[in-house]
Amino acid sequence: MKRLISVILTMLMFFLLIPLSYAKQGPELVDVTVDGKVIKVKKINILINGEPIQSDVPPILYNSRTLVPVRFVANYLNADISWNQEKYEATIKTQEKEIILKINSSDVIINGKVEKLPYNVPAKLINDRTMVPLRFVSEALGFDVGWIPETWTGTIDYKKQDVTNVSIVENEGRLPKIRIETTGLVSYKDIFLEDPYRLVIDIPRSNLNIENKEIIDSRGILKLDVQKYPIKEIRASQFSINPDVTRVVIELDRDISYNVNVSDKQIQIDFTNKVSNIKLETIEGKKGIVIYNTNRPDYNIIRLYEPDRIVVDLLDSLLEMNDNKLGIETEFIKGIRTSQFKPDSLYNEHDKIVRVVLDLKEKEIKPHLTTRVEDNKIILFLDDDGLKNIDFEKLEDGSRLLKIKADKRMNYHVKYDEDGKVMTIKFLKKYANLGNGIIEIRDELIDYIKVESIGDYNKVSMKVKKDILYDILSSVKDDEIKIKFNDKVKKYSDKLIVIDAGHGGKDPGTICPITKIKEKDLALKYALSLEKRLRELGFKTLLIRNRDEYIDLYDRAEKANRSNGDAFISIHFNAHDDKDISGIQTLYCPSYLSDVKTEDNYPFAETIHEELLKATGAVDRGIKRRPKLVVVRETKMVAVLLELGFVTNPNEEKRIITQEYKDKAIQGIVNGIIRYFESK
C-alpha cells in the first residue's frame, strides 16, 4: 500500500513539473524561408486587449524583433493594406496615418516623410508573405505595445475609449443595423446565445458613457425597445470595471447570422447577408458552385422545369455583384443568373432575397444536387456521381426505358404501387453496384428515380406522376433489368376484357396434390388480380364469376357475347400423370372452326403466350388449337384459355401459389393484351 501511494505521489510530482519544464523549453520553433534560406525562428504569442489571437501565419521573432503578417495589421489594427508588387512596398493606411514599408529597407515613409525605422528591422518576405515589424507599426498607429518575456508574448492594447451611444440605423429595403458609437477605435468579442436568441458584444478597455442621459436608467443601463425584425431589444451596460468592459446585448427574433464591422469610431452590426461572388471551384476533386456571402444566410432550393433550372434563394440577402449573368458552364450547367428577387407569394413583401438561378442543360438524366455550407459559403454540387449501372432514357415513341445493369444474371423483384404511384425494383446488392442517389427526371410522366442500398439489397424506387403502363422487357433472370413505361393510355378505355376464372362451385377443377388447393380457387385469385391490373391500366373488364359459383360453359360464352367484349381470357391450371411435365399452354379456337368468330384468333393467342413465357420464364408447352373447348369456340371475340402451369409438377405447384408468380403471370397476360391491341 505504501509503495502504491509513493508511486502516485511520484506521478503527481511528474505532472506538476510539466508546466515548469515546458516554460523552460521556451517558444515553439518553426522553419521559415527568408532571403532564400531556411532558418529556425521562434513563434510569438500575441494578446490584443488581453485576448489571444489566432493567425494562420504565426507572428515570429526575427533578429530579436516580432514580425507579423501584414494581414494581421488589417484585421486587428483596423488599417487598410495595399501591396505594390513592382516597388515591393506595403502601404498601411488609417484615417490619420499612411505608412509605407519597403521590403528589406530600413526607410519608412510616414505621411509622405521618409524616416528611418527605429529598431532597424525592415519588413521582410517570409515564406513569400509580407511580414512587418509589430512594435513599430502598432506604435505608429497609436497602440500601446508591451512584452511578457516569460511566455514570449507581445501585447497590444487599444487606448481606453468611451461607448457614447447605441442606436438603430434603418435603411429602406434592408434589415435594421445597430450602431455602437465610441470615442476611438475599440476591439470586441462577440458571442451568439440561444434561449432566447441573443448576440452579446463585449467591448474591452471601454466605459459606457452615454451622452444622451434620457435613454439610460438610474443604474446606468441603456435599454432600447426596438421590435423591428430581427431585433427585439438592445441593452448596454458597464459589465466590469478594471478590467473595463462594456457589454451590449441584442435580443433577436431568431437564429440569424450577423456581421460586425469596426471602424475608427464605431462598431456596426448588420444582419443582411451580401452575396459577393459566385465561382466555379474544385473542392475535394469535385466541381462545385461556390456562393460567397458576408454572412451565413438561410436558403431555399427550388427545382423548376421546362426549362430545367435550379433556383437558390438566399434569404435576408442583398446582391453585391456586378455581373447578373455568369458565364459558368459545367457538364450540367449552361449558365448562372443572379438577381435581387422581388418577393413572390412564397415570401413576405419586405423580404430581401437574392435569387441565384442555375440554368441546366437539357439532359434525360437530371443531375443530383447536394449542398454544403462552409463558413459563409454555400457550395452546390451538381453531378450524377454515386450512381452507376442505371440508365433512363426517353424513346422515340415517347415511352421511357429504365435499364439496370448487373454483373451477372440475377433474380429481381418489381412491384408497382398504383395508389402511391411508386414502382420499386429490388435485387441483391452483390449482383450490381448502383451507389446511392436520386436521378431527377421531372418530366410529365416520371418524377424521380431514387437508388438506395438497404441491407443486402439495392432498392430502386421510381416515383411517377400519372398512372403508367409498364412492360418488363427483361427475362425473369437476367443480367439487365429493362422496364418500359408509358402513359396509361386512354385508348384502352374502349376495350372490354372478359375474364373467366375456370371451374367454380360444384366443379373444383384439378386439385393441387401437395397443398390441396383447388383449381377453381386458384383461377379466381388470378382472375381477380388480372381484373385489378387491367382496370388500373384503364381497360374495362367483365368477370364471368367473381365468387365461388358454378356457371355452365355455354352460359359463360353467352355472358361474354352479351357484353360485346373485345377479348376473352379463361384462366386454368393443368394436370398430368407425368410429374415432370411443367409449363404454360395457350389454347384457342381457329375462327374457321367456330360459327360465331369473325376474326383470326391465333395472333391473340400467340401474343399472350409469348408475353406469358417472357414474364414468368415458364416452360413453353405450346399454343394449341382446341375447337372442342366451348368457351374459346362459342365466344365472338378473340379468346384464349390459359393453362398457367401444372399443379402436378411439385416445383410448379409451389411456384404457382406464390404471389410473385401470380404477379408475373398477370403482367405477362397484360403485356400480351396491350401488345395485341397496339399492333392492330
Footprint of Zn ion on this chain (CB under 5 A)? 502, 509, 572
Type of residue numbered 341: F
Q: What's the closest the beta carbon of residue 488 comes to Zn ion, in angstroms?
A: 32
Angle at which helices 602-616 and 659-679 pack, to 10 degrees?
Answer: 140
Q: What's the closest the beta carbon of residue 366 comes to Zn ion, in angstroms?
A: 50
User: Across the beta sheet with 45-48, what order do the strands follow?
Assistant: 51-52, 45-48, 153-157, 144-148
Q: What's the closest the beta carbon of residue 551 comes to Zn ion, in angstroms?
A: 13
Give the residue nearest to Zn ion (CB): 572
114 vs 99, 117, 141, CA distance in Å?
10, 10, 16
Of residues 161 and 510, the one with the C-beta less far from Zn ion? 510
Long-range contacts (CB closer than 8 Å, 24 or more residues apart) made by 395-401: 395/484, 398/486, 398/487, 399/484, 399/485, 399/486, 400/445, 400/446, 400/484, 400/485, 400/486, 401/473, 401/482, 401/483, 401/484, 401/485
Of residues 309 and 545, the one with the C-beta less far from Zn ion? 545
587 vs 37, 66, 576, 625, 639, CA distance in Å?
95, 100, 16, 6, 9
Of residues 354 and 523, the one with the C-beta less far from Zn ion? 523
User: Across the beta sheet with 422-428, what order do the strands follow?
Assistant: 413-417, 422-428, 457-464, 446-454, 437-440
Closest CA to 632 of 510, 497, 500, 527: 500
Q: What's the closest the beta carbon of residue 654 comes to Zn ion, in angstroms?
A: 19
Of residues 309 and 572, the one with the C-beta less far from Zn ion? 572
Q: What's the closest the beta carbon of residue 576 comes to Zn ion, in angstroms?
A: 12
Please report which residue ranges of 215-370 form alpha helices under DSSP H: none
- What single string gives the DSSP state of each residue in 63-94? TTEEEEEHHHHHHHS--EEEEETTTTEEEEE-
Of residues 67 and 669, the one with the C-beta less far from Zn ion? 669
Q: What's the closest the beta carbon of residue 523 comes to Zn ion, in angstroms?
A: 7
Q: What's the closest the beta carbon of residue 669 comes to Zn ion, in angstroms?
A: 16
Q: What's the closest the beta carbon of residue 570 comes to Zn ion, in angstroms?
A: 8
Q: What's the closest the beta carbon of residue 639 comes to Zn ion, in angstroms?
A: 15
Of residues 367 and 645, the one with the C-beta less far from Zn ion? 645
For the chain, report the end-to-end CA distance as a whole number of angstroms.
100
Closest CA to 175 of 275, 297, 271: 271
198 vs 156, 229, 249, 616, CA distance in Å?
29, 13, 7, 66
Of residues 204 and 509, the one with the C-beta less far from Zn ion? 509
- What single string gives the DSSP state of each residue in 145-191? EEEEGGGTEEEEEPPPEEEEEEEEE--TTS--EEEEEESS----EEE
Q: What's the closest the beta carbon of residue 571 comes to Zn ion, in angstroms?
A: 9
Of residues 358 and 587, the one with the C-beta less far from Zn ion? 587
222 vs 133, 225, 648, CA distance in Å?
41, 10, 94
Distance CA 88, CA 108 (A): 13
Type of residue numbered 593: L
Of residues 126 and 629, the one with the C-beta less far from Zn ion? 629
Q: What's the closest the beta carbon of residue 587 comes to Zn ion, in angstroms?
A: 10
Of residues 126 and 641, the one with the C-beta less far from Zn ion? 641
Of residues 311 and 511, the one with the C-beta less far from Zn ion? 511
Q: What's the closest the beta carbon of residue 509 comes to Zn ion, in angstroms?
A: 4
Q: CB–CB of 616/584 below 8 Å?
A: yes
Of residues 250 and 522, the one with the C-beta less far from Zn ion? 522
Q: Computed over its alpha carbons, how large is the radius of gyration of the chain? A: 41
